[in-house]
Amino acid sequence: METQIFKPDQIEAAAALIKAGQLVSFPTETVYGLGADATNETAVKQVYAAKGRPSDNPLIVTVTGQAMVEQYAEPLSAKAQALIKAFWPGSLTLILNLQPGKLSKAVTGGLSTAAFRNPANQTTLALIQAAGVPIVGPSANTSGKPSPTLAQHVYHDLKGKIAGIVDDGPAQVGVESTILDLTADVPTILRPGAVTEEDLEPVIGTVRSTHHKVGKTEVPKAPGMKYKHYAPDAQVYIVDHESDWPAALAWAQAQDYPVGAMAIDPVLAANQLPANVEAYTLGPDLASASHRLFAGLRHFDLESPVKGILTQGFADTGLGAAYMNRLNKSAGQVHFQK
């Protein structure tokens, strides 16, 4: 299969492929997604096949707004409507109860709930409108690999496996959306993202965060809860504190292979890098680090022969919770030990 590259002014051609049951990658403000008609079970199953994704890992349903959600979900609660008004379009995904039979179990992982998101990207909203249907939207990468923040990342992983990619430049946020379960007794964050607990609580009151690990026989309610994610070929080591970097770099210098170092500018400037260490800047602060994390992992995966990647950790609060959620998964919870 030839994978076509579309520009934002070629949305009608990309939408025609979606309507024909083909797969098209689309841009969002977080990462690039892999789109298929969410009402076409055959097309949805092709998403799992193209990504190599386990079939019990549910898919996010990408919509143009509340009206489209109401075609598939049960009547929206006051909290759901308040969140939609406050954060959509944007980086918040809501898990809602479905109307019976409205979406295939291939979308939901066999559950009676589905995750809905309205991205803050006009190109993708135009794509959905032109296709006339919601589209599933998992990240457009080989399952388990770092999420794509550029169209080139998608092409590397999925060329020949999907019909098209809509190239709208780099993603602006860089980590996937916050996933909030509104079917729980207390609204619960299942995946942290750019919309934080502190952002949500003024709108709907108490919000719970969970780091529940899904068992082998349990179906996760949201993507990324059960399987290893975001992992480059090289082992990632989390450097927990800025004071640990001299020891981490001394360890790197003792290795007989090249090592990557991903950190913010002040950390890189404060430390002398050995000859076998390649630096990748995460920018000036946590916000830029969250934006550049996946791009950095992709850089070392595709463009550099490193066999280990030292990566800066941050406090697990606010936006740091989203960053550390992704980093811990990419590292398999491996932290640098002095």
Q: Was 206 annotated as part of a binding site?
A: no
Cβ atoms of 197 and 296 closer than 8 Å: no
The answer to whether the annotation marks 177 as part of a ligand binding site is: yes
Within the chain, what is the greatest distance between any pair of CA atoms?
A: 60
How many residues are there in the chain? 338
Question: Rounded CA gap, 338 and 333, in Å?
Answer: 16
281 marked ligand binding residue: no
- CA distances 78 to 62, 85, 111, 183, 264, Å, are 21, 11, 23, 13, 41
Give the pairing type, strands 259-263 and 277-281.
Answer: parallel
**Contacts (Cβ under 8 Å, ≥6 apart) of 49:** none
Place of tokens 């049951």: 21
Q: Which residues contact 154 (CB under 8 A, 6 or more apart)?
A: 25, 32, 34, 140, 141, 148, 165
Distance, CA of 37 to CA of 45 (rounded, Å) = 11
- HSE on the CB side for 281, CA within 13 Å? 9
User: Is 117 among the annotated ligand-binding positions?
Assistant: yes
* Distance of alpha carbon 243 from alpha carbon 86, whole angstroms: 39
- Rounded distance between C-alpha atoms, residue 147 and residue 2, angstroms: 22
64 a known binding residue? no
Tokens of 309: 């990647």
Looking at 3-93, list the stretches that DSSP marks H as alpha helix, in order from N- to C-terminal side.
11-19, 41-51, 66-69, 78-87
Rounded distance between C-alpha atoms, residue 120 and residue 122, angstroms: 7
Neighbours of 315 (CB within 10 A): 12
Is 191 labelled a binding residue?
A: yes
- Residue 30 annotated as binding site: yes
Enumerate the known binding-site residues for ATP: 53, 57, 113, 139, 147, 191, 230
Enumerate the known binding-site residues for L-threonine: 30, 117, 177
Enumerate the known binding-site residues: 30, 53, 57, 113, 117, 139, 147, 177, 191, 230
